[in-house]
Structure 1
Amino acid sequence: MIAVTRLVVTAPITHVTVLEDRAVVSRRVTAAQLDVRGASDDDATQVRLLIEGVSPILVDKSLRVSSGATRLRVLDVRCRRALAPWRSGAPAPSGGATAEGSDEASKATKAVAAAQHQLELARAAAALARDHLAAHAKLRRAELASLAAAAARGLPCADAAEPLAAADAEARALGERIVDADELVGERERALSDAAQLETLAQQRKGKDVATLEIDCLMTPLGPGEASAADAATLTIEYLVPAAAWRPVHRAQLVGSTVSWELGACVWQRTGEDWTDVDLSLSAERPSLGVEPPELSDDELEVRPRPATVQVQAREQEIERAGGGSDPSAAAPTVMGIDDGGLGLVLRPATRATIAADGRPHRVTLSSFQSDAEVELLAIPLRSPLCHVRTRFTNHGKSPLLAGPVDLVRRAGVVGRGETGFLAAGERATLGFGSEPEVRVHRELREEQDEGSILSGSVTRTVRVIIRVSNLGSSARQVLVQDRVPVSELEQVVVTVSAPEAFRLERERRPGEAPLAQITERTIDEHGLVTWVVPLAPRGRAAVALEYRIKSPRGFAGL
């Protein structure tokens, strides 16, 4: 008959692989805890290992135990859950992670009670000081009334000055005492609020349930010439837990013409177990149970008469670009295999990480690189009155940059938060670093409409755009100014852009007004984007002008 030995062991978490909405946790039991030497007898020994403090929300069907020893065979593994002792009223265990959670919650509750007691004492002291001040004011009013009555009867009051001065000094002391008491009450209230938050966090951390892993193992006797220490009987336990996630975050710093990029990740987990000093892996895989095809419905077509008025829709079309292109000096990247779940990237931090089970974001650094950047000032007054700092750089990192938020940092500190898309290794990208406060941009729009004659049957709308740029700084700058001209998709609607010299601002200059330099050199692309390169002297001003006409038939509406 095989004897069963119960053995409580500690299996620290050594490795965690975090997916998009779950995590795979690995624990390890060393050979020193398994009492290997006790199995060197002639009979085999069955050992039931108990691992306390595991996550109660682990997925049972994902439990997997592997042995690193030929003479240690795993028979069964299961997870037993029970109501926590601090929830059921039973005495808390004397050791293990559950006891630590109970002790932490008990300490937090005691801290809240102590803070509440201190707050009550402070409020009582403040109320007592106010009572003393009210009583003192009542006595002083009575004393002043008696002095007034004595003066009315003509009695001498030469010795009344000293008591009145002492009463004033006592009133000032009581007022200072009330101020100090109110400040103490405020401090005690803040301390109570902090203690209550810590108690809530401790209650959430300790949870409602406790879980214990039970692993039945069979240790066979040693063979001839085998040493007990030579066979490392190490157990590795893996299981899946929900309530864990990670998302990529980035940090970009612009110093001069160099962009320093730091790729990081924010990890959240509320699994009920802390990941302390673990080897962390972040996977972009998307495990799924399968997909279903979309439901199709009938599309009914109807015939209706053509309206007398043609409705034309003017819309803002976003220009889609595939990317900034690759660096010509960089080698061609290796083509990755196609996977339905994405690229299947697995990212690992350079150091071990600690992630507490508090549901808060914990940031870890994955990689970093530096790249020379093309820095330019860009003004799009049609969208914003600010002049923005735009950079173009190359991803010199070894791995692609995943889409996510970017913390933008300049010399003065954080200037804002941007966003980046997927950026392959060696690909060029464009990123803004906030606005330039020393450059001001003003856009003026003028519109005229000519109904035309009855015979022509057309309507012409003339649009004039004036953009003035000012440099308030002491250094020369060059600003890229962009505006937009409508692009027609109908043959009946014609958009004509006037020549750069057709609209001159000097004709509108008032007498005595300083002349304003007008930049006429421009470029227009197929999307209707008009671009000027405006040089600005220190504390200088310049302007650009744009004129175009939209000609459409009289029966067209919506323009």
Structure 2
Amino acid sequence: MAVTRPSAESAPVPTTEDPYALPVTAVTCMEDRAQIERTGLVQLVAGVGRLRIGPVTPLTVDRSLRAEFPAGDGPPGTGFSEPASDTPRMTGARVLDARVVRMYTPTPPGEPGRDASGLRREVHALEREIEDARQLRQRLDNSLAVIGQAKADLYRDIVQGAGAGDADPERWTDRLERIEQAAEPRIEEADRLRRRVHDLEEELLEARQALTAVESEPQQLTAFVDLVIEAERAGPAELRVTNLVPCALWRPAYRATLAADRRSVLLETDAFVWQDTGEDWSGVRLSLSTARPTLAASPPALTEDVLTLRERSSEERRTVEVDLREEEIRTVGGESAAETVGAAALPGLQDGGAVRVLTAPRPVDIPSDRRPHRVPLSSFSAPCQVENMCVPELSPLVAATARFANSAGHVLLAGPVELVRGGGFVGRGELAFAGLGEEVRLAFGSEDTFRVVRHLEESRETAGLAGINQRTVITRRLRLFVSRLDAPEPGGEVELVIRERVPVSEVSAVEVRVRTESSVPAPDEVDADGMVRYRLRLGPGERREIGLVYDLTASSGVTGL
């Protein structure tokens, strides 16, 4: 915001004695910071005046500070909506300057203030009691040191007198008894104080831990917002102040509940919000954004890429080098695979490459306590199709997978999801990014009544004439043993979907062919990405065997297989 600073030759600027405590009314929480908005009524004076707003958090980012009057209260073109009809309107008022003023006020020693909590007063009382006990113990130690010196002098007198033949046993005995009588109560008192200090230190440690858990130390650094405002006439007006603050972030979280009849899924969208900005957010309008304001907007620096050209050798012309690689086929929200992979590589929120904004349906309270606070955002129930699916190459377990459309009215950001099935918590999974109306897949735990065992065999042979049409044929035979372990009692059959994969060739010198005539049973589906699907219907106690055979045929010039 461009502001005009008053010149030094202008008239003195009137100031206000007490600052205006504008409450935080709206917060837009981003990936690693938040934009807070304060709105309230201020009293303006005619002409140029100064207002102090606060206290505010010392973490306020100075360059993000913006203060203005809503539409109708300031110059045109601010872009804000019209205020409510009962809001005072002040025409001709504008903000000339806005800055953050920070002050250091150390906590005064002595007794805690009048507003101190009972726990803080207890900590202070324990500290004072420990200090008094330590001072008393120090005095007792000094007294015992004097008594010990007297006893040492008496022993020296006894040694010297006995050596000189001037023995006085009665006097020595009397003095030794008096020394012992003086030392005994002090030793007992010192031991009692030592135990007392130990107990007080343990109580103080517990009290400090409790104080740290429920309260934060009083801020020694405070901040205010000083505004220079020019108004045509005096009167009340509504003022809006916005700024960025660090130490605030949010992450999405979900809870999916599969109905007992397995025909619908209830998906609840929540947000976990953390903040340690130094001030509590009470009854604020909360918006959650995936924007990253700290990322640089400039293009990356270009580096030189040197290309060289050379003639291929005769051996290189005759051979084709190939290798196998793993590739994940992903399509998210209709965006390109490059954008999807780039978004997934970034830390934090995965928004599919576009800024998304979610809004809490009602005002929320987020205290500044460094703890996660769960904020409900939305929920919807959608019909689903549940299938028992197994991918033996990855896991022998059969999972109940539900497929349903995203009808939340907004995109579903990638995040953890709690899975509930049959009225109980069955685990925690990961929800991938899903656009509006896009299909969502969630696995609600494993079906322990199924067992799948996988065996893979590979053979290699050479066919054709050398130098003419010689080729290498790699044959892979996959055997799957599927069992349903229910007791052989009358009951309906259950459908099981098994997914396997075969390589996909990208060069003409290598051919991949599924031998459906040798595969028993024949696959139900083989798509262009090499995914092979089988649909089996198993009754209680039934066992099946699946045999999948496919060939990789490579010409004689292919290396790397």
Query: Could you report, residue by residue, the CA deviation over 1:501-521 in whole angstroms, capped at 9, with x for unpaired residues?
Result: x356xxxxxxxxxxxxxx445
Secondary structure at 2:209 match in 1: helix
Question: How far off its partner does 1:240 sit?
Answer: 2.2
Q: Superposition pairs for residues 10-25 of structure 1, below 5 Å?
A: 10-25=21-36
Within 1, Cα distance between the matches of 2:353 and 2:509?
46
- Quote the residue 1:274 is aligned against: 280
User: Does the CA-based 8 Å contact 1:105-1:202 persist in structure 2?
Assistant: no
Match of 1:237 in 2: 241
Residues 85 and 543 (structure 1), Cα distance of their counterparts in 2 relative to 1, 3 Å cut: same
Match of 1:445 among 425, 447, 456: 456
- The equivalent of 2:90 in structure 1 is 70
Moved more, 312-321 or 210-219: 210-219
* Residue 485 in structure 1 maps to residue 492 in structure 2: no
1:246 maps onto 2:259 in alignment: no
In the alignment, is the contact (CA less than 8 A) between 2:67 and 2:239 conserved in 1? no
Which whole-Å CA distance do the structure 2 matches of 1:489 and 1:221 have between them? 77
- Contact 2:451/2:483 (CA < 8 Å) preserved in 1? yes
Give the unaligned 5+ runs of structure 2: 1-11, 74-87, 132-197, 336-350
Shift of 1:346: 3.2
Which letter does structure 1 place at the counterpart of 2:104? L
- Name which of 80, 83, 105 aligns with 2:104: 83
Query: Quick one: structure 1 residues 343 and 523, their matched pair in 2 at CA, closer, same or farther if it must change by over 3 Å?
Result: closer
Match of 2:538 among 511, 536, 539: 536
Q: Which amino acid aligns with 1:64?
A: A
Tell me if 1:470 matches 2:483.
Answer: yes
CA distance change for structure 1 residues 92 and 294 in 2, over 3 Å: closer, same or farther? farther
CA contact 2:390–2:398 (8 Å) conserved in 1: yes
Preserved CA contact (<8 Å) 2:122 2:207? no
Q: Distance in 2 between matches of 1:75 and 1:451?
A: 86
Displacement of 1:379: 1.1
1:283 aligns with 2:303: no
Match for 1:457 among 438, 462, 470? 470
Between the aligned partners of 1:105 and 1:54, the Cα distance in structure 2 is 26
SS in 1 for 2:21: coil
Secondary structure, counterpart of 1:277 in structure 2: strand
Distance (whole Å) between structure 2 residues aligned to residue 189 and residue 473 of structure 1? 58
Distance (Å, rounded) in 2 between the aligned partners of 1:190 and 1:315: 62
User: Where does the alignment leave 5 or more consecutive residues of structure 1 unmatched?
Assistant: 118-184, 223-230, 326-339, 505-518
Could you tell me which amino acid in structure 2 is paired with residue 59 of structure 1?
V
Correspondence for 1:419 among 418, 431, 454: 431
TM-score, structure 2 normalization: 0.66
Give me the whole-angstrom Cα distance separating, in 2, the residues matched to 1:354 and 1:383. 44
Aligned AA (2:275): Q
Deviating more after overlay: 65-74 vs 402-411 = 65-74
Quote the offset at 1:237 in angstroms: 2.6
Q: 1:475-519, CA deviations, whole angstroms, 9 ceiling, x for partnerless residues?
A: 63211112122222333333332234x356xxxxxxxxxxxxxx4
Once the two structures are superposed, what CA deviation does each residue of 1:255-313 show, in whole Å capped at 9, x if it has no partner?
A: 22211112222222222211122121223444466312441312322425344764320
**In the TM superposition, what whole-angstrom CA distance separates every residue of 1:374-421 from its partner, at most 9, and x where no partner exists?**
111111111221112222211222222233333332222142221211
Q: Is the 8 A contact 2:523 2:532 kept in 1?
A: no
Residue aligned with 2:237, SS: coil
Conserved? CA contact 1:112–1:196, under 8 Å: no
The aligned runs of 1:229-378 (5 Å cut-off) are: 232-255=236-259, 256-287=262-293, 290-303=297-310, 305=313, 306-307=315-316, 310-321=320-331, 343-378=354-389
- Supply the RMSD in Å over aligned alpha carbons: 4.1
Tell me the distance in 1 between the aligned counterparts of 2:332 and 2:32: 29
Is the alpha carbon distance of 1:457 and 1:427 closer, same or farther for their aligned partners in structure 2, counting shifts above 3 Å?
closer
Equivalent position of 1:380 in the other structure: 391
* Partner of residue 511, structure 1: none
Secondary structure of the structure 1 residue equivalent to 2:387: strand
| Displacement of 1:217 | 5.8
- Any idea what SS the aligned residue of 1:196 has? helix
Q: Check conservation: 1:402, 1:421, Cα contact below 8 A.
A: yes
Change (3 A) 1:461 1:60: closer
The SS at the match of 1:199 is: helix
Within-5 A mapping of 1:196-207:
196=209, 198-199=211-212, 202-203=215-216, 206-207=218-219
- Stretch of structure 1 that moved more, 300-309 or 5-14: 300-309
Name the % identity: 33
Distance, in Å, in 2 between the alignment partners of 1:77 and 1:301 is 58
Question: What is the rounded CA distance, in whole Å, between the counterparts of 1:244 and 1:387 in structure 2?
Answer: 41
- 1:497 is matched with 514
Per-residue deviation, residues 343-376 of structure 1 (Å, max 9, x unmatched): 5543211121111223333221111111000111
CA distance in 1, matches of 2:538, 2:264: 24
The whole-number CA distance in structure 2 between the counterparts of 1:115 and 1:428 is: 66
Among residues 55, 58, 61, which one is paired with 1:56 in the alignment? Answer: 58
> Which whole-Å CA distance do the structure 1 matches of 2:256 and 2:203 have between them?
36
**Contact map agreement 2:502 2:532 (CA 8 A) in 1:** yes
In the aligned structure 2, how far is the partner of 1:374 from the partner of 1:30?
Answer: 55
Identify if the C-alpha distance between structure 1 residues 524 and 110 changes in structure 2 by more than 3 Å, giving closer, same or farther: same
CA distance in 2, matches of 1:16, 1:352: 10
The answer to whether residue 407 in structure 2 is matched with residue 405 in structure 1 is no
Distance 1:91 1:291, change over 3 A: farther
Within 5 Å, give how 1:106-255 maps onto structure 2: 106=120, 110=124, 192=205, 195-196=208-209, 198-199=211-212, 202-203=215-216, 206-207=218-219, 209-215=221-227, 232-255=236-259
SS in structure 1 of the partner of residue 212 of structure 2: helix
Contact 1:260 1:370 in 2 (8 A): yes
AA matched with 1:391: A
Give the whole-Å Cα distance in 2 for the aligned partners of 1:190 and 1:452: 85
> So what's the TM-score if we normalise by structure 1?
0.67
Query: Which range moves more in the overlay, 12-21 or 461-470?
Result: 12-21
Aligned residue-pair number: 436
Q: Is the 8 A contact 1:324 1:428 kept in 2?
A: no
